Amino acid sequence: MPEPTAPTPPERQNAWPKAVTIMVVAALLAGVVFSGLRMLREMPGAALDKSTALVSAIGGEAAKVARAFNEKTVREEFVSRATELAGTSRFQFASLRQEETFQRSEAGSTAWGLVPLPTVVVGARGPVDYTYFLDFAGPWEFASDGSELTVYPPAIAANPPALDVSALQFYTLEGSIWRKDGAVRDRLRESLSAALVERAAKNAGLVREVGRQRLAEFVEKWLAEKFSDGARLRVKVVFPAERPLSPEEKKAL
């Protein structure tokens, strides 16, 4: 009988393919993380919060506008971010320089009011700078229908007008030899501050469209930076005087 042969020992498996595979997978993962960090570093610092940007870059889910509306966080997010971007609690959007004219008329009398004196009319003319803003601390409302975001900002407000005193000119339109116009001019000068505040309110309509455009651009940029789907929304700005009256307000008229 043939002698039994000893079994052949199994061939020793080569461990190199497995090690190479592990190294390649590790390199790929490291490359993904490095690409995400590089993308984050190249993004503008003011664009997104870095932690949120990193999660988004590596595959996390960014915030959605619709979800923010459901959670009623849009206004808080906007006011917080807008204040940071503007550096103040105001969004100043327009300056207006106007040549303003003011007049004051005074009539007098003598002899215990029995003898009327001629009327004195004086005037003043000078350039005035008006600046207009929207207050971030004021009432802001936002409404969205899915494709359009409507912004209801507070009323346009004005900073104290700046009168160029060096260019201010006083003149007399009607005078009298019986009365001096100096006192009337002084009273006109004293009334200019209050008159300028009234003029600033009246001139706000001249800058409304500029404010509408600049605010829409501001909000569009904020939406694109804050929300992953914010860039697709159109922005519409409606000022308080343009809002339709509610049924309750109509009844009160």
Structural domain includes residue 104: yes
Q: Taking 90 as the threshold, does the pLDDT of residue 171 lie above it?
A: no
Neighbours of 207 (CB within 10 A): 19
Residue 18 pLDDT: 53
Residues 179 and 54 in one domain: no
Residue 253 pLDDT: 66
Residues 34 and 90 in one domain: no
Q: Read off the pLDDT of residues 226-241 as tens digits, 9 standing for 90 and up.
A: 888 888 889 999 999 8
Residue 48 pLDDT: 38
Structural domain includes residue 11: no
Cβ pair 49, 84 in contact under 8 A: no
Q: How far apart are CA 233 and CA 144, in angstroms?
A: 9
Task: Please provide residue 192's backbone torsions phi and psi, each rounded to the nearest 5 degrees.
Answer: -65, -40
Residues 188 and 88 in one domain: yes
Structural domain includes residue 100: yes
Residues 80 and 192 in one domain: yes
Q: Decide: pTM greater than 0.75.
A: no
Residues 155 and 221 in one domain: yes
Residues 183 and 85 in one domain: yes
What is the arithmetic mean of pLDDT over 191-213?
93
Rg (alpha carbons) of the chain, rounded to whole number: 36
Q: Taking 80 as the threshold, does the pLDDT of residue 16 lie above it?
A: no
DSSP state of 127: E
Q: What residues contact 235, with CB distance under 8 A and at least 6 apart?
A: 148, 149, 150, 151, 216, 219, 220, 223
Residues 89 and 27 in one domain: no
* 212 or 70, greater pLDDT: 212
- Give the range of the structural domain holding residue 154, as residue numbers without chain letter: 72-252
Neighbours of 126 (CB within 10 A): 18
Q: How far apart are CA 238 and CA 130, in angstroms?
A: 22
CA distances 112 to 65, 106, 108, 116, 117, Å, are 75, 17, 11, 10, 12
Residues 58 and 117 in one domain: no
Residues 81 and 118 in one domain: yes
Question: Of 192, 205, 186, which is closest to residue 127 (Cα–Cα)?
Answer: 192
Residues 91 and 50 in one domain: no
Q: Read off the pLDDT of residues 116-167 as tens digits, 9 standing for 90 and up.
A: 567 888 999 999 999 999 999 899 999 988 789 999 999 999 999 999 989 9
Structural domain includes residue 9: no
Q: Please report where in the chains the tokens 């201010």 appear, as a residue.
A: 168
The amino acid at residue 170 is F
Structural domain includes residue 130: yes
DSSP state of 176: B
Structural domain includes residue 51: yes
Task: Please provide residue 149's backbone torsions phi and psi, each rounded to the nearest 5 degrees.
Answer: -110, 120
Residues 150 and 237 in one domain: yes
Tally of domains within the chain: 2
Structural domain includes residue 4: no
Structural domain includes residue 7: no
Q: Read off the pLDDT of residues 22-81 as tens digits, 9 standing for 90 and up.
A: 554 444 444 444 454 454 355 444 443 443 443 343 333 446 887 887 777 888 888 888
Residues 113 and 182 in one domain: yes
Q: Read off the pLDDT of residues 73-106 as tens digits, 9 standing for 90 and up.
A: 888 888 888 888 777 888 999 999 999 999 888 7
Q: Mind giving me the DSSP string for 13-54?
A: PP-HHHHHHHHHHHHHHHHHHHHHHHHHHHS-TTTS-HHHHH
